[in-house]
Amino acid sequence: MISFAALLSPLALLLPSPAAQDAAQDETGLLPETEVTAPARLDPPITPEQMLGFDQVTAMPIVRQVRIQQRVIIRVSPRRTSGRQNLVADVSNISRPKTMVERKIGKCIDLKGIAGVQASRDNRLMLYMRDQRLIMANLEKACSARDFYSGFYVVDPRKDGQLCISRDKIQSRTGAKCKLSRIRQMVAQ
The sign of the CA dihedral 102, 105, 106, 108 is negative
Residue 92's pLDDT is 47
CA distances 99 to 16, 45, 52, 108, 159, Å, are 118, 98, 84, 25, 37
Residue closest to 73 by CA, chosen among 163, 151, 156, 152 = 156
The sign of the CA dihedral 137, 143, 144, 148 is negative
Which secondary-structure segment (H or E) carries 126?
strand 124-129
Q: Given 3-state DSSP classes, what are the helix, strand and coil percentages for the chain, each rounded to the nearest 5? A: 25, 30, 50
Residue 9's pLDDT is 75
Q: How far is CA 27 from the centre of its chain?
A: 84
Contact 134, 120 (CB under 8 A): no
Residue 6's pLDDT is 74
Residue 39's pLDDT is 58
Domain parsing of the chain, residue ranges: 73-91+99-188
Residue closest to 104 by CA, chosen among 143, 145, 136 = 136
SS3 62: coil
Which secondary-structure segment (H or E) carries 104?
strand 100-104
Q: What is the mean pLDDT of each run of 10 residues along the chain (189 residues)?
A: 72 68 54 57 64 58 71 74 53 61 92 90 89 92 87 86 90 88 90
Q: Pairing between strand 124-129 and 177-188? A: unpaired
Residue 8's pLDDT is 76
What is Dmax (Cα atoms) for the chain?
Answer: 137
Q: How far is CA 105 from the centre of its chain?
A: 37
Rounded Cα gap, residues 183 and 163, in angstroms = 10
